[in-house]
Structure 1
Amino acid sequence: MLDHKMSDPKKRFETIVQSLRTNHHKITPQRLAIVKILAKSTGHPRVEDIYGQLKQDFPTMSLATVYRNIVLIKSLGEVLELGFPDGSNRYDGNKPYPHPHLICIKCKKIIDPKLDSLDDMKNEVANETHFKILSHRLDFFGICSDCLAKEK
């Protein structure tokens, strides 16, 4: 079962902006535009994807500026970074807490499956290892239905 339920992007936008204000960071038009994209987080965008969406409206903004803003927002706990060995990090500002991901190895699409047993799994690992689990990451890799259809 897929978890199509996103947090309300408008509420996430307001939450991230409030977090920036609370932590005494300037609210610039460029920063607001980055936050708006992160609050939606459609497809778990890369920094380059976010930059591509913004460069027409902000032609003087650099890729480094986008990256610095994402790092700042991540430091506030308002965006989840998904790192990959090839360096193609992806970002989720809509659901900035640990949750499972399903990743297509062909088109790199990322979706959020609903996994009701995740809490049970986390508790089982904690009980077995006597660890206090602070965070977790669970990724499933496969080929999405769109890519499978193209193969036929």
Structure 2
Amino acid sequence: MLAKLKARDFRLTPQRLAILSILSGSEEHPSVDEIYTEVRNKFPTTSIATVYKTIAMLKELNEVLELGFPDGSNRYDGNRPYPHPHAICMKCRKILDPEIASVDQLSEEMKKKTGYTISFHRLDFFGLCPECQHKS
């Protein structure tokens, strides 16, 4: 990831490195606001524009996966920045990345049945996580 950014002459400031660290080290799929809050704990003068610009560059380089939701919110996956299935809790909004081997088979089957060249897919399962089920 760093090599790609350097090759594009992207300035690697301490704030941007912190954003990269948050995204690549998180399994929580943080929002821009969550990233911004965490970065400001270390670098109080960081602007939210820095977070947006950094994420935009990472998306362009395919180093972060953006998950858009019907309410207009977005969450970001820098830990696994390639298409993969997500299990999303409709109550607490927790997102998990289960390893499901058959997703590649599904993509191939879709290609065969439609004739499409599949360049991207998104597979999300919505429900209630075990914690929210227990609370209900």
Same fold (TM over 0.5): yes
Look up the equivalent residue of 2:38 and give its one-letter code: Q
Query: Within 2, Cα distance between the matches of 1:67 and 1:23?
Result: 17
Deviation, 1:41, is 2.4
Q: Matched residues in 2 for 1:123 and 1:135: separation?
A: 12
For structure 2, the 5+ residue unaligned runs are: none
**Structure 1 unaligned blocks of 5 or more:** 1-15
Q: Deviations over 1:6-60 (max 9, x none)?
A: xxxxxxxxxx211110111111111100000011122110011101111122111
Structure 2: distance between partners of 1:135 and 1:41:
22
The sequence identity of aligned pairs, in percent, is 54
The residue matched to 2:125 in structure 1 has which SS? strand
Structure 1 residue 64 displacement after superposition: 2.0
Partner of 2:73: 88
Match of 1:6 in 2: none
Quote the Cα distance in structure 1 between the aligned partners of 2:72 and 2:52: 13
Task: Provide the alpha-carbon RMSD of the alignment.
Answer: 0.9
- Confirm or deny: 8 A CA contact 1:103 1:142 kept in the other structure: yes
Q: Which amino acid aligns with 1:47?
A: V
| SS across alignment from 2:73 | coil
In 2, Cα distance between the equivalents of 1:118 and 1:57? Answer: 39
Aligned twin of 2:24 = 39
Number of aligned residue pairs = 136
- Cα distance, 1:107 vs. partner? 0.2
Q: What is the rounded CA distance, in whole Å, between the counterparts of 1:92 and 1:39 in structure 2?
A: 8
**Normalised TM-score (structure 1):** 0.86
C-alpha distance in structure 2 between counterparts of 1:97 and 1:36, whole Å:
17
Within the candidate set 71, 83, 92, 1:98 is matched to 83
Moved >3 Å (runs of 4+): none
How far is 1:150 from its partner? Answer: 1.2
Aligned position for 2:51: 66
Larger RCO: 1 or 2 (CA < 8 Å, sep 6+): 1
